[in-house]
Amino acid sequence: MIEIADKYVAELKTYLTVLDPTELGDVCEFYEEYLLDADFNSRQEIEKELGTPRQLARKILAEHSLSPDSTPILENPHKQAKTKRDLWAIWWILLGLGAIPVGIPLFIVIFVFLLLIFIFIGVVIIVSVALLLSFIAVLVFAIPVIFSANWAVGLFYCGIALMGITFVLMFEPLDFFFIRWLIGTTAKLIRKLGRKVFKKRDSYKGDR
């Protein structure tokens, strides 16, 4: 039995390498003791109770991501790192929800919702880049006109292009701020929903 438990925990460990080494050690030690105390007789009995190592790892990482301060990457005070941490949290919680029966309907709803959000973000980025390139193109074509008989028209379009470029560059930081805010808000919402689902799962297990 010890060999079966060790093999299961070793396989579980390979799926949890994103955790902090200390946390990884604690998790592996906990499940190793749990398997030995439960006195399972076969790998099938373990997987019937806990799932496969991959499924259990997804649940662990999802529950780990439910805390706003928990992260599978090194802590970093910068906003970019926080956004990356939120994306990781969303990813692991989704995997965890998909690994339990009660979470599958919510997984589908959240997946569609996230797909719409990322489509919206993509549209915002594409429109911003398209506007910037359009104004640059106008500027490039207007500059030679300044040195022709229609110099006034050239100056007019150069002015329009420069104002447009300035406008886009001024609002570009707002776009990134909005995207970060949207990702952060979505992560908080998914964490909240995830807590309810995993709490429901634990209550269901306790009643069995």
Domain boundaries, the chain: 76-207
**Lowest mean pLDDT segment, chosen from 85-94, 96-105, 146-155:** 96-105
Pick from 67-76, 115-124, 129-138, 147-156 the range whose average pLDDT is largest: 129-138
Q: Give me the amino acid identity at 132.
A: L
For tokens 């269901």, name the residue.
204
pTM over 0.75? The answer is: no
Q: From its phi and psi, is residue 74 left (phi > 0), alpha (psi between -120 and 50) or beta?
A: beta
Identify the band that residue 132 occupies on the pLDDT scale cut at 50, 70 and 90: very high
Average pLDDT estimate for 84-109:
76
Q: Are 175 and 124 in contact (CB under 8 A)?
A: yes
CA dihedral 43, 40, 33, 56 (to 10 degrees): 40
